[in-house]
Amino acid sequence: MHGHSNTPRDPLFDIHDKVYLIAGACGGLATPLIDEISARGAKMAFYDINEIGLTELQSKFPDALIFAGSIDCEASITACIVKVIEKFGVLDGMINAAGVLPICDSLSIDYGLFKTCLDVNLNGAFLLSRCVARSMQERGGRIIHIASVSSNVANIDYAAYASSKAALSQLVRVLAREWATKNILVNAIGPALTETKLTREYLSDQHFRQNAIDAIPMQRLGLPSDLFGPIIMLMSKAGAFITGQTIYIDGGRTTV
């Protein structure tokens, strides 16, 4: 389903013709989300380090803008936003789906990998937010980060990832306060473990998979489609007074 489709337009959740930058667009969670956003008639720009993935997205969504760059490079992000404004005239929102997930015990995790996790999941999220907010100062906008239940729960072997996501949730709160008077709303969603390209390798281990399911009261893993409703809410009129929140979409995982 591409572009202008027959999806009914509920005024509360209408994102038709809104312009969204999606960072980490080639990642596991972004792929199904992009289909959903496109079906609702939004205009999209895709930012990712994966040039092959971007070319594939361009062929699927010919009206979209693609821009190759790293999430922790401010010059590249800024250049991308300039192109977005040139092409579409405005930028209404940004969804940050970029992330790395190293699972390794803390005694042996490579320190370089630990730092990379922070660079992408936290520092990149900060740079993206700041660049986008600079372009939204006149008319406001929405910034949505994909956080994780790991910002709240302490899974073993998650020192790098959990630290980065906990910091991201706190960053969201601070930026939300700083930018509230500009009507730039900053939120995150916190999925439970969801089956995507990023997690598939870990989840192929049956022991790991069963432990993950056992920790979720609803006794199943997350699905990308579980995230659509809350994200569309945060992008649309329905989310007009929500800022500084990490909304957990987790089958009860954070209640454990």
- Answer whether residue 121 is part of any domain: yes
**Predicted pLDDT of residue 152:** 94
- Answer whether residue 5 is part of any domain: no
- Answer whether residue 3 is part of any domain: no
Domain that holds residue 148: 19-250
Q: What are phi and psi of 39, to 5 degrees?
A: -60, -20
Q: Do the beta carbons of residue 128 and residue 77 sit within 8 Å?
A: yes
Work out whether the CA dihedral 7, 184, 81, 27 comes out positive or negative: negative
Confidence of residue 198 (pLDDT cuts 50, 70, 90): confident
C-alpha dist (Å) from residue 101 to 104, 117, 159, 166, 198: 10, 7, 10, 14, 7
- Answer whether residue 2 is part of any domain: no
**pTM (two decimals):** 0.95
Average pLDDT of the chain to the nearest whole number: 95
Region 202-225 average pLDDT:
94
Work out whether the CA dihedral 93, 24, 13, 89 comes out positive or negative: positive
Look at the chain and report how many structural domains it folds into.
1
pLDDT at 8 over 90: no
- Answer whether residue 7 is part of any domain: no
pLDDT digits (tens, 9 = 90+) for 18-42: 999 999 999 888 999 999 999 999 9
Region 174-189 average pLDDT:
98
**Predicted pLDDT of residue 199:** 87
**Predicted pLDDT of residue 1:** 47
- Answer whether residue 190 is part of any domain: yes
- Answer whether residue 13 is part of any domain: no
- Answer whether residue 196 is part of any domain: yes
64 Cβ partners below 8 Å, 6+ apart? 43, 44, 45, 46, 57, 58
Torsion of CA 252, 145, 31, 67, to 10 degrees: -170
Q: Do the beta carbons of residue 91 and residue 19 sit within 8 Å?
A: yes
Can you give the CATH number for the domain in which 35 is found? 3.40.50.720
**Predicted pLDDT of residue 165:** 97
pLDDT digits (tens, 9 = 90+) for 85-133: 999 999 999 999 999 999 999 999 999 999 999 999 999 999 999 999 9
Q: Please name the residue ranges forming H helices in 102-146.
A: 111-118, 124-135
pLDDT digits (tens, 9 = 90+) for 42-57: 999 999 999 999 999 9
As a whole number of Å, the CA-based R_g of the chain is 17
The percent of residues above 90 in pLDDT, for the chain, comes to 92
